[in-house]
Structure 1
Amino acid sequence: MVHGTTYAFSVVSTVTSQVNLSLHLQSYTYTGLQLTTRKSHRTLFDLGMDSPAEHSYKVSVPPKKSLTEEFSEAAKEMFLADDPLRQYKDQSGSKKIWLALQYVFPILDWGRHYTVEKFKGDLIAGLTIASLSIPQDIGYSKLANLPPEIGLYSSFVPPLIYPLMGGSRDIAMGPVAVVSLLLGTLLQNEIDPKTNPLEYRRLAFTATFFAGVTQAALGFFRLGFIIEFLSHAAIIGFMAGAAITIALQQLKGFLGIKNFTTNTDIVSVMESIWRSAHHGWNWQTILISASFLSFLLVTKYIGKKNKKLFWISAIAPLISVIVSTLLVYMTRSDKHGVAVVKYIKKGINPPSASLIYFNGPFALKGLKIGVVAGLIGLTEAIAIGRTFAGMKEYQLDGNREMLALGTMNVVGSLTSCYITTGGFGRSAVNSMAGCKTAASNMILSIVVLLTLEFITPLFKYTPRAILSSIVIAAVIGLIDYKSAYSIWKVDKMDFLACLGAFFGVVFASVEYGLLIAVGISLVKIILQATRPKIALLGNLPRTTIYANFEQYPEVTAVPGVVIVRVDSAIYFSNSNYVKNSCNTDLINSATVVVDIDTSGIHALEELFRVLEKRQIQLILVNPGTTVIQKLHLAKFTDLIGEEKIFLTVRDAVKKFAPKEVDSV
């Protein structure tokens, strides 16, 4: 608390500048010493970094831009700021076309350098992820309330498309648990999959089509920043909640329950389990489930402890399917209440373009479901792709990935597939198995093709219990408690988003959990935008640097001067808050200001008039290019006087407190 009349403020600058407002108002120190009031006094407004230069320079105003130039620059900043094709602008026409094609289809680049050694690595990796993916695909299709063959279809066509356009060497494509659960939950709210299976599949293909269109559009228009609104903390909570929900849903197959709730919240599931406890459980099913789940968890533990033995956990699901199928066939457990898969349609993907709803009420419903599920799938794939790209030190273009994923899902929707994306489990196995390029996805696709053509009849006696065990073992890895604890330590608001998403999924539904996650993330952004912090600055002894008291306790106050930095843009959303903060005897803190709008300028004008009545002068320091241009066009510089605009805090302090500068 500052005793007397004290004002602190900070405005706008470029990214390389800071914003400081110094009020030539009082003599003070900040930490540990009493603040005392002096009369005399001027206001200093610093908008930039201090410079040790001894010479004073005048802040210049850049030339005014035309309306066309402003809109053109804004469009380039939004759509082309990270355009990789800009590097080809000096190439010849034919060369430019070839390089552009290589950008859209990376296979044209890495395919020219493909070797036998790379093929060996991709072959081993493809066979390994196939052994993991095939059992998972059948289980995940059940999560989406779709026939098991559609899960296999979705690991045949999409993995053929992605290597043509995708840039990740490690990501493995196919159905994933979270998207399957989300899609199944949203679809069954519209159509009952049991009474209307054909219409349900049509809506699933429609949602997949619009999910692909959404993903491709985001990549084409370079709008990938939209998925960043779902924060990392929210994703951690959402994934953990979804993992628990998925595991609870698998209790139907795990315990052999015939009549099970269609709701996904934990209360409904536990009630359903309790009601069936006396007569609905099957002990043979429980024995199969528990035995193979233990086997899967043990192999997963071995794979984590010894990275060289990752293949044990990778082939464990396929081994479980084979062994459990043989056991059921030999003991005929299916005649004693053990539910089996019975029938998986043989043959490759049939065309499904005619099944998609392109008009009518179901088209709109498919669009809504597709957008939501597509964004979740996109978020998961981009996060996984960036993780492995960082580990192996290669670049991954997020917008190109979105275009590849979108194209993959559009083609998938036309060939009886549902939404596919990159799964972390299979991608991790793919990477550890030694994949060299995205061609490992093609090997996976070929194995799935052979499975569809020749092996599906052998799944007739596969117990559904083993599929439940495989899914439960797979989703346990989605619960990242270490990251949640780290979020708690670092940022409590982020942890609230994590917790909100988790409880929303577990106690309500997947879509409500998602809405809560996005909602809390947006609230955090709004609070940061409307409540900027303002930092009190002082001089570092024997330097010309002015730093934050909270960060550097050794800084000292300049007698008669109060220096404050607002580290945030001043827009309509926070202009009144900043202005009011400067009309109190409190000193606040904030983030770097990079821009100002008309509301911010109006707030500065009001602040200037209030301070003028109190005989306090407002002085600007180092406004950035955008800021000084707007202040000049608004004639605010004329209002305060150009002689009160300085390049550095040192220059301003030298003007109003020369003894302090001379003593440095």
Structure 2
Amino acid sequence: MGTAADHDTHPPAPASHYNSDVGGNHRVEIPPPQPFITSLKNTLKETFFPDDPLRQFKNQPPAKKFVLGLQYLFPILEWGPRYTLQFFKSDLISGITIASLAIPQGISYARLANLPPILGLYSSFVPPLIYAVMGSSRDLAVGTVAVGSLLTAAMIGDVVDVNENPTLYLHLAFTATLFAGLFQACLGIFRLGFIVDFLSHATIVGFMGGAATVVCLQQLKGILGLDHFTHATDVISVMRSVFTQTHKWRWESAVLGLAFLFYLMIAKFFSKKKPKLFWISAMAPLTSVILGSVLVYLTHAEKHGVQVIGQLKKGINPLSIMNLNFDSRYLTTSIKTGIITGIIAMAEGIAVGRSFAMFKNYNIDGNKEMIAFGMMNIAGSCTSCYLTTGPFSRSAVNFNAGCKTAVSNIVMALAVMLTLLFLTPLFHYTPLVVLSSIIIAAMLGLIDYEAAIHLWHVDKFDFLVCMSAYVGVVFANIEIGLVMAIGLSILRVLLFVARPRTLVLGNLPDSTVYRNVDQYQNATNVPGILILEIDAPIYFANSSYLRERISRWIDDEEDRIKSTGETGLQYVILDMSAVGNIDTSGISMFEEVLKIIDRRGLKLGLANPGAEVMKKLNKSKFLETLGQEWVFLTVGEAVGACNYKLHTCNSKINSSNVSEKYSNNV
């Protein structure tokens, strides 16, 4: 039927066309009836398969369908045959570069999750291999992330003290990773990725900023060389833990930490100024680890209050499938931790992947990505890994290093494997304060104050959502901050549904276009006609409000007419262009509005109702009550018909007056 803008540009039919049919030549047709199964099938298809992933299988022989199915599940089978030596050269450089970042970050984030540091290396070996086979992004570099690590520590730490029972804590982390993977895979398989859409941009900005702030504050333990520290994540508990132990602060550790933090920030600043030298920032964490380890080894600083990692076990990932814990006492904690961390990790990974895909002008399948994330976390939980996704920092380095395909993840995984097999003893003297500096440097980039300022200028409610997430995370805990932000976002959606806009339309001079009189100051009211636009589908949640709002618009228009002495109100036209659907409560609302308008001696007209709306209005017999001649294709045709009626009525009145005057004269 076209857009509303297109409809309004059609000129109204001439008056003669309305002589026999008030609706003019253009009728709004009722769509042909569809079987319930067909209608349900179409609805489900639009909800869960908007991208129509099966279109490539149509009209293909069975053998081709089998090959296409394998390529859909394992994208490497699609691009692998076209892989070239030139691509490998680029991926080799990218893989080695991100490995230099993955090794120190992995160790750092594992400690942030209160897990053995070696798990950070394990998690950078198996999951990237799974993603390289099943992922659809060319640029995503897989690994652990700070926010997921912090969530794991906070949620499992509420139930199990890692110092008192480290084995149980470790097993619950594996179990939570399994549930995160199962949840992610199920969302992808059942095409439920739209659930992630409830994490709005404002929510993510505030949540990430709050989590980054909390992570930075937690690193004061390493910077100050403290042995005991609070497990709480709120800023008050952290500050209390810091300042009640002033007598235990180690100046040696603080000086070393601040020096390396300064070095990391300078490297990042220099790389931003000269993007071609991105490798300086990418290599900075590894060089910090090397320099810190050498310095501690030469000065024996571990004997003077500088804590070190200690012994790391050599060898690749041991199996952990037998360590999964399904004890009923902890099952709820594992499931809750898995779902929340899984959603956050999935949202971050998909957002990062789509961002870099736009730069290279290709598309990634969100549901396919969920399946890939799910499978790599399921496999990871069975091979001594914890939650992984596609972190922004590592993916940005991968992108800037010139990666061509997901083979860069394979190269990174092989580099980590060599480290696990031969180089882990070299990390014995790595100071923990250097790891804290690496985490702080990475987290400062997640506090996007410029985005928050932009939200303030553009949309105050989005800014409120952003700040509620930030304040909730920083001053309460991560779960409360996330729930507050999502709750406000959902509340906003519900308010849009429950309180849709209704607008008065006026005619733009020298045209048949009708627009909002508040937006277009030169739009004029049509004498005797009130034109209202309903700007949302009509459901039970807003039907009562719309009934009252339409009645109030009529009252306001009649008051305006009385004050200006214009032609009395005779017609009410409802522009239905934006009403995509209607339920039974909405139909009842229309019946009540029609009765209200009839009692006032007015006539109701509907302009441009959609197919679904027409079908339901017809089935409910409302069109019979209204009269289908009062349903118009455009607002212009509706106004033309009403003006013709007014003209005809006035002509009859004038003719009657002339006849009466003639009779009196006779």
Q: TM-score, normalised by structure 1?
A: 0.91
- Which structure's residues are more often helix, by fraction? 2
Identity %: 50
* Partners of 1:533 and 1:591 within 8 A in 2: no
Q: Pick from 522, 527, 533: which aligns with 2:490? A: 522
1:589 CA displacement:
12
> 2 CA distance for matches of 1:589 and 1:634?
20
**In the TM superposition, what are the counterparts of 1:372-383 in structure 2 within 5 Å?**
372-383=340-351
Flag the structure with more relative contact order, 1 or 2, with Cα contacts below 8 A and sequence separation at least 6.
Answer: 1
- 1:484 paired with 2:470, answer no
Deviation at 1:403, TM superposition (A): 0.8
Q: Deviations over 1:446-501 (max 9, x none)?
A: 11101111111111111100000000000111011111111111111111000000
**1:24-39 counterparts in 2 under 5 A?**
none
Correspondence for 1:404 among 369, 372, 393: 372
Could you tell me whether the CA contact under 8 Å between 2:155 and 2:333 is conserved in 1?
no
Which residue does 2:58 correspond to in 1?
A: 89
2:350 is the alignment partner of 1:415: no
Find the aligned partners of 1:536 and 1:84 in 2 and give their Cα distance.
Answer: 42
Shift of 1:359: 5.6
2:575 and 2:608 in contact (8 A); partners too? no
Deviates more, 1:595-604 or 1:48-57: 48-57
CA distance in 2, matches of 1:589, 1:180: 52
SS of equivalent residue, structure 1 residue 573: helix
1:273 to 242, 247, 256: 242
> 1:71, CA displacement in angstroms?
2.1
- For 1:438, the equivalent position in structure 2 comes to 406
Q: Distance in 1 between matches of 2:281 and 2:267?
A: 5
- Higher mean Cα deviation, 130-139 or 584-593? 584-593
**Which of 262, 287, 294 matches 2:255?**
287
Q: Name the amino acid aligned to 1:527.
A: L
What is the distance in 2 between the residues matched to 1:293 and 1:127?
A: 23
Contact 1:216 1:404 in 2 (8 A): yes
**Residue 304 (1) aligns with residue 272 (2):** yes
Deviation at 1:262, TM superposition (A): 1.2
> Once the 2 structures are TM-superposed, how far is the Cα of residue 590 of structure 1 from its aligned partner?
11
Q: How does 1:119-518 map to 2 (within 5 A)?
A: 119-277=88-246, 279-358=247-326, 360-518=328-486
Matched, 1:559 2:532: no
* Distance in 2 between residues matched to 1:366 and 1:214, nearest whole Å: 12
2:142 maps to amino acid: M
User: Which amino acid is the alignment partner of residue 468 of structure 1?
Assistant: S
Structure 1 residues 592 and 327, CA gap change in structure 2 (3 angstroms):
same
Q: Distance in 1 between matches of 2:421 and 2:577?
A: 60
Q: Which residue pairs with 1:22 in the alignment?
A: none
Q: Distance in 1 between matches of 2:576 and 2:592?
A: 20
Is 1:643 matched with 2:612? no
What code does the residue aligned with 2:541 have?
A: S
2:590 to 599, 604, 607: 604
Measured after TM superposition, the shift of residue 235 of structure 1 is 0.4
Q: Judging changes above 3 Å, is the alpha-carbon distance between structure 1 residues 570 and 50 closer, same or farther for their aligned structure 2 residues?
A: farther
Q: Give the alignment of 1:93-104 within 5 angstroms.
A: 93-104=62-73
For the pair 1:66 / 2:25, whether they are aligned, the reply is no
- 1:49: Cα distance to partner? 4.9
How far apart are 1:101 and its partner, in Å? 1.4
Kept in 2: contact 1:532–1:591 (CA 8 A):
no
SS at match of 2:445: helix
Any idea what the Cα deviations from partners look like across 1:593-639, whole Å, max 9, x if unmatched?
21100111111111111111111111111211100000000111111
Partner SS state of residue 582, structure 2: coil
The 3 A distance-change label for structure 1 pair 349 and 586 is farther
User: 599, 604, 620: which one pairs with 1:613?
Assistant: 599
Conserved 8 A contact 2:577-2:609: no
1:654 is aligned to 2:635: no
Please say if residues 505 and 514 of structure 1, whose CA atoms lie closer than 8 Å, have aligned partners that are also in contact: yes
Whether the aligned pair in 1 keeps the contact of 2:212 and 2:444 (CA below 8 Å) is yes
Cα deviation for residue 50 of structure 1 reads 5.0
- The question of 1:536 aligning with 2:522 is answered no
What is the SS of the residue equivalent to 2:503?
strand
Q: Distance in 2 between matches of 1:53 and 1:183?
A: 64
Rg larger in structure:
2
Q: CA RMSD in A?
A: 2.0
The 3-state SS of whatever aligns with 2:138 is coil
The letter of the residue matching 1:630 is K
For 1:51, give the aligned amino acid.
H
Residue type of the partner of 1:269? V
1:194 CA drift (Å):
1.2
Separation of aligned partners in 2, 1:168 and 1:557: 54
Separation of aligned partners in 1, 2:375 and 2:442: 27
- Give the deviation of 1:16 after TM superposition: 3.5
Deviation at 1:378, TM superposition (A): 0.4
Question: Residue 573 and residue 339 in structure 1: after superposition, are their counterparts in 2 closer, same or farther (change >3 A)?
Answer: same
Aligned residue pair count = 620
Instruction: Evaluate the alpha carbon distance shift between residue 589 and residue 197 of structure 1 in structure 2; reply closer, same or farther with a 3 A threshold.
Output: farther
Residue 34 of structure 2 aligns to a residue in which SS?
coil
- The residue matched to 2:153 in structure 1 has which SS? helix
Task: Give the counterpart letter for 1:639 in structure 2.
Answer: T
Contact 1:15 1:594 in 2 (8 A): no
Aligned partners of 2:305 and 2:178: how far apart in 1? Answer: 39
Confirm or deny: 8 A CA contact 1:538 1:558 kept in the other structure: yes
Question: Matched residues in 2 for 1:348 and 1:448: separation?
Answer: 9
Q: Secondary structure at the match of 1:574?
A: helix
Query: Once the 2 structures are TM-superposed, how far is the Cα of residue 83 of structure 1 from its aligned partner?
Result: 2.7
Separation in 1 of the partners of 2:438 and 2:92?
24
CA shift, 1:261, in A, is: 1.2
SS of equivalent to 2:504: strand
Q: CA deviation at 1:433?
A: 0.4
Contact 2:577 2:607 survives alignment (8 Å): no
One-letter identity of the residue aligned with 1:99: L
Q: Does the alignment pair 1:574 with 2:542?
A: yes
Alignment CA distance shift 1:152-1:52 (3 Å): farther
CA contact 1:146–1:201 (8 Å) conserved in 2:
yes
Q: Secondary structure at the match of 1:618?
A: strand
Deviations 1:418-471 (A, max 9, x none): 010010001000000010001101111011101111111111111100000000
Please give the TM-score of this superposition, normalised by the length of structure 2. 0.90
- Distance (Å, rounded) in 2 between the aligned partners of 1:482 and 1:592: 34
Change (3 A) 1:445 1:592: same
Q: Is the 8 A contact 2:144 2:388 kept in 1?
A: yes
Contact persistence 2:576–2:607 (CA under 8 A): no
Matched letter for residue 600 of structure 1? G
Give 3-state SS (helix, strand or coil) of 2:463's partner: helix
Q: Is the CA contact 2:465–2:488 (under 8 Å) kept in the aligned structure 1?
A: yes
Is the contact made by 2:575 and 2:635 (CA closer than 8 Å) also made in structure 1? no
**Paired residue for 2:656?**
none
Determine helix, strand or coil for the equivalent of 1:263: coil
> Which residue matches 1:33?
none
Pairwise CA distance, 1:516: 0.9
Contact 1:143–1:177 (CA<8 Å) still a contact in 2? yes
* More moved, 555-564 vs 116-125: 555-564
Which consecutive residues of structure 2, in runs of 5 or more, have no partner in the other structure? 14-23, 558-573, 649-666
Counterpart of 2:80? 111
Residue 533 of structure 1 contacts residue 590 of structure 1 at CA under 8 Å; is this kept in 2?
no
Specify whether residues 206 and 598 from structure 1 end up closer, same or farther in structure 2 by C-alpha distance, changes over 3 A only.
Answer: same
